Chains A and B, each alone.
Chain A
């Protein structure tokens, strides 16, 4: 009987570690955004986005601290955090989504695929559905994922005062770049 239990326990352990292996992670994902207007162009980049991808289900989650966005001008960065996205109240932005019609067995190693992705983007306390195309590079151990989409500050209840309304684009391009690798502590 004891051996039975031991087998059970081992198989349990095996399934849980397997689950961990089914996940790919990164802590150094890149998020960028661009706002282009005739008055000025604003761009910011965050190299500390963390992300986890479930190989079995095609589910993906991305999270980044708003304070991690770096701007060309220090003052822009302060205004971004202080006045627009209110980083103290809403410290992080998150995305939780899924690759559409995902089938793990259809991917070949070292090939690139374009897949539709759908999910919820949370920013400034507001959540909106996002649809986009993701480019997936299926490596031997890692997966590289890249996607772009547009967001509007208005959709996320980010108020822009009239004085600078011409400086900030109504539609802001967001670019996500992730290199997901097996989890390492």
Chain B
């Protein structure tokens, strides 16, 4: 009988003590257990819609308008006569609008080849504690506005068109480090010779390392799959900084590409970095809230 009482009281105390300590101690612990199964989306894989030349997985939020001013100066190896390229510049003005948080439309105009472009961008997947990658689809069309080089022959409007299609897949590894793969296809309706490729496949890889909350170091490389075009041109390389100041994001970069849209910088990059064919440039991104 006594033995039973002792074991019983031990049993009781062993149960009550932890219970009472939970009761006293941590209401907060209970709340933590409550919150574990909610979906936690990753945000800000990159600071803006471009890594450098190429698109990032980021979209402009619904109802917001991003005004992008892109500049590429001349080649650094043009020397002091051209003030290392600063005397020349090409510009692209672009608008990107968020129809929704997932769907963006964009238009732009490049002085390089007097080209207008239009684009659609759709965020398919968002990285979260359940899905490992953010995936965005990007499609654009460019219209070359240069005068026909041979006006006497029959020229078709469709010959001015080229297209870029990209699947952008990114993973934010840590707050400071994000990496993106960008399988891409560029199609050009008209090419110079019968040997030239109309379709160019490339794989882009880009990433960023945050140096502080407001500054990141970005790098980007587009590898063209082997072919005649890959032999005649160079792969696009770029290195730059994103600097964020409240409403603006400044992107400063050096690159061997002159074009600022996928249709141009992926298949037609002519700069050889080893020879110093490097363009200094910048993008300025300014976001306006149009619809709340």
A27 within 8 A of B: yes
- 0/1 per residue, A88-106, Cβ < 8 Å to B? 1101101010000000000
Q: Is B40 a contact partner of A67 (Cβ separation < 8 A)?
A: yes
Which of B23, B32, B245 counts the most chain A CB atoms within 10 A? B23
Task: Classify chain B's interface size.
Answer: 35 or more
- 0/1 per residue, B3-23, Cβ < 8 Å to A? 010001001100110010001
Q: Is A96 a contact partner of B28 (Cβ separation < 8 A)?
A: yes
Alpha-carbon distance A164/B43, docked complex (angstroms)? 22
Which one of B11, B12, B23, B35 contacts A65 once the chains associate, using CB atoms below 8 Å? Answer: B35
Q: In whole Å, how far is B5's beta carbon from the nearest beta carbon of chain A?
A: 9
Residues of B within 8 A of A65 (CB): 35, 38, 40
B175 within 8 A of A: yes
Q: Is A54 a contact partner of B27 (Cβ separation < 8 A)?
A: yes
Interface residues of A in 51-69 (CB under 8 A from B): 51-52, 54, 59-63, 65, 67
A75 within 8 A of B: yes
Q: Is B15 a contact partner of A27 (Cβ separation < 8 A)?
A: no
16 contacts between A and B (CB under 8 A): A4-B8, A12-B12, A12-B15, A23-B27, A27-B34, A50-B31, A54-B23, A61-B27, A65-B40, A75-B64, A78-B43, A79-B246, A82-B43, A86-B175, A96-B28, A167-B246
Which one of B16, B44, B61, B101 contacts A82 once the chains associate, using CB atoms below 8 Å? Answer: B44
Q: Is B31 a contact partner of A51 (Cβ separation < 8 A)?
A: yes
Q: Is B27 a contact partner of A83 (Cβ separation < 8 A)?
A: no
Q: Is A67 a contact partner of B43 (Cβ separation < 8 A)?
A: yes
Alpha-carbon distance A81/B41, docked complex (angstroms)? 12
Residues of B within 8 A of A72 (CB): 289, 292
Q: Is A50 a contact partner of B213 (Cβ separation < 8 A)?
A: no
Q: Is A73 a contact partner of B27 (Cβ separation < 8 A)?
A: no
B287 within 8 A of A: yes
- 0/1 per residue, B210-254, Cβ < 8 Å to A? 000110000000000000000000000000000011110000000
Q: Is B245 a contact partner of A15 (Cβ separation < 8 A)?
A: no
Please give 8 more A-B residue pairs, beta carbons under 8 A apart, in addition to A15-B16, A61-B27, A63-B35: A51-B31, A54-B23, A61-B26, A65-B38, A67-B41, A73-B64, A82-B43, A82-B44
Task: Classify chain A's interface size.
Answer: 35 or more
Q: Is B12 a contact partner of A8 (Cβ separation < 8 A)?
A: yes
Alpha-carbon distance A35/B230, docked complex (angstroms)? 55
Residues of A within 8 A of B15 (CB): 12
Which one of A50, A75, A167 contacts B35 once the chains associate, using CB atoms below 8 Å? Answer: A50
Residues of B within 8 A of A73 (CB): 64, 289, 292
B274 within 8 A of A: no
Alpha-carbon distance A25/B245, docked complex (angstroms)? 41
Alpha-carbon distance A63/B292, docked complex (angstroms)? 28
- 0/1 per residue, B47-65, Cβ < 8 Å to A? 0000000000000011010
Alpha-carbon distance A44/B7, docked complex (angstroms)? 56
Q: Is A75 a contact partner of B247 (Cβ separation < 8 A)?
A: yes
- Which chain A residue has the least Cβ–Cβ distance from B5? A4
- Which chain A residue has the least Cβ–Cβ distance from B30? A52
Q: In whole Å, how far is B245's beta carbon from the nearest beta carbon of chain A?
A: 6
Q: Is A74 a contact partner of B246 (Cβ separation < 8 A)?
A: no
Alpha-carbon distance A54/B28, docked complex (angstroms)? 12
- Which chain A residue has the least Cβ–Cβ distance from B24? A57
Residues of A within 8 A of B38 (CB): 48, 65
Alpha-carbon distance A82/B172, docked complex (angstroms)? 13
Q: In whole Å, how far is B27's beta carbon from the nearest beta carbon of chain A?
A: 4
Alpha-carbon distance A163/B174, docked complex (angstroms)? 27
Query: 5 tightest CB-CB pairs across the interface, nearest first?
Result: A74-B61, A61-B27, A88-B175, A63-B31, A83-B213
